[in-house]
């Protein structure tokens, strides 16, 4: 296990990201955390913001009680602000929020109101600073991600295939596509660190086909590399069959069934990783408490398939899988964005 000690190099990394977020004199900074937040990250971003001359205050709330029938991990939909009217008002008054909640505000229902107030939100993913230090954003990532956003927004169809047997299509017309390059410097926007990923939230009824997760692919909810193949049949956005032998298929079947909710079987978003500094093998190097798996979502060329909530299709659930898949071809209207797991 890594030691949660303040290191000069981590202060430098957090200061670099804060500077990218236009943190400095005259900027009111709110640091949002909860009682189960990673304290070392809260401390590091406070030091970074103060070093840059910003005015800093903390918004700290109790971590919410568990309500789900199974453990909930890495959803990007923190419930820490549920019912916290005073905290939300304080966040709206800030110019910049550093989000250090366990799950993050990306899909939290309170986010829209905070952004509408003109506040910019920088999520610091619940990773150990050892990971964050390696993945300080590269300025070139902004152009790379913007090009991928344009490709997705202009496409009518995404097709994904692989030698493992994947063959699925996504109707892209009307999909909401967004990308993250790792920092936010414009009012009313959100980003997360680590960054370098493009995702699209399809409209209802848009996803069909078969997704084969091969041995070595990743289930980030379980923070586990698959040991045996698992095949998902997808009809009208919903996983209708989970085929496979062994632990990986059984874990997926049990976890999804536990929700008792058909929306847990639905497609949340699809996309791909764009960050060449992010490493596929990183999950094997950290204890489970030391990683949230954001790096695996971003590693260059993975096809990121996710189940669960998709507000653009009118679906809401806490059940969520993020599944980075290797070796895929991702084709938009006949143009390869990724070929054999390598971005084009």
Domain boundaries, position 100: 8-134
- Give percent of the chain above pLDDT 90: 90
Question: What whole-number distance in Å separates Cα of residue 299 and Cα of residue 327?
Answer: 12
Helix H or strand E encompassing 231: strand 230-235
What's the confidence (pLDDT) of residue 228?
97
Residue 33: closest CA among 119, 96, 124: 124
* 124 and 26 in a common domain: yes
In a domain, residue 334? The reply is yes
Which residues pair with residue 98 across a beta bridge? 31, 122
The pLDDT of residue 244: 97
Name the domain boundary from 134, 160, 193. Answer: 134
Residue 277 lies in a domain: yes
Are 187 and 280 found together in one domain? yes
Number of separate domains in the chain: 2
Q: Encoding tokens for residue 27? A: 């900027």
Specify the 3-state DSSP secondary structure of 9. helix
pLDDT band at 331 (very low <50, low <70, confident <90, very high): very high
Question: By the 8 A CB rule, do 256 and 233 touch?
Answer: no
State yes or no: pLDDT of 1 exceeds 80: no
Same domain (yes/no): 112, 171: no
- Note the helical H segments in the chain: 8-20, 39-51, 85-93, 111-116, 129-134, 141-153, 247-258, 294-298
Each residue's pLDDT tens digit, 127-180: 999 999 999 999 999 999 999 999 999 999 999 999 999 999 999 999 999 999
59 with 28: CB under 8 angstroms? no
> Is 2 contained in some domain?
no
Instruction: Clarify whether residues 157 and 124 are in a common domain.
Output: no
Q: What is the pLDDT of residue 275?
A: 98
Statement to judge: residues 199 and 320 lie in one domain: yes
- Per-residue pLDDT of 169-224, as tens digits, reads 999 999 999 999 999 999 999 999 999 999 999 999 999 999 999 999 999 999 99
Q: How many CA atoms lie within 13 A of 45 on its CB side?
A: 33
């Amino acid at each position: 296990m890594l030691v949660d000690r303040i290191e000069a190099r981590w202060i430098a990394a957090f200061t670099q990201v804060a500077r990218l977020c236009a943190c400095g004199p005259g900027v009111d900074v709110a640091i949002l955390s909860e009682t189960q937040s990673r304290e070392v990250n809260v401390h590091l971003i406070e030091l970074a913001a103060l070093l840059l001359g910003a005015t800093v205050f903390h918004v700290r709330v109790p971590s919410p009680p568990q309500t789900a029938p199974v453990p909930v991990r890495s959803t990007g939909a923190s419930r820490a602000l549920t019912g916290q009217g005073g905290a939300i008002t304080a966040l709206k008054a800030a110019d910049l929020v550093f989000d250090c909640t366990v799950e993050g505000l990306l899909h939290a229902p309170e986010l829209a109101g905070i952004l509408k107030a003109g506040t910019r939100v920088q999520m610091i993913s619940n990773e150990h600073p050892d990971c964050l230090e390696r993945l300080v954003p590269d300025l070139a990532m902004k152009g790379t991600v913007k090009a991928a956003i344009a490709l997705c927004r202009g496409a009518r169809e995404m097709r994904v295939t692989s030698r493992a047997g994947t063959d699925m299509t996504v109707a892209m017309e009307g999909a909401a596509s967004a990308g993250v390059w790792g920092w936010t410097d414009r009012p009313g926007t959100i980003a997360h660190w680590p960054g370098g990923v493009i995702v699209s939230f399809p409209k209802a009824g848009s996803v069909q086909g078969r997704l084969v997760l091969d041995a070595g692919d990743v289930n980030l909810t379980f923070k586990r590399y698959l040991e045996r193949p698992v095949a998902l049949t997808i009809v009208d956005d919903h996983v209708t069959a989970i085929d496979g032998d062994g632990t990986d298929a059984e874990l997926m079947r049990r976890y999804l069934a536990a929700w008792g909710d058909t929306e847990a079987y639905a497609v949340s978003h699809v996309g791909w990783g764009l960050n060449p500094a992010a490493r596929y093998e990183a999950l094997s190097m950290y204890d489970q408490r030391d990683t949230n798996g954001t790096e695996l979502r971003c590693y260059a060329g993975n096809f990121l398939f996710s189940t669960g909530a998709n507000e653009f299709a009118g679906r809401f659930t806490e059940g969520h899988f993020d599944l980075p898949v290797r070796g895929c071809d991702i084709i938009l209207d006949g143009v390869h964005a990724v070929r054999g797991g390598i971005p084009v």
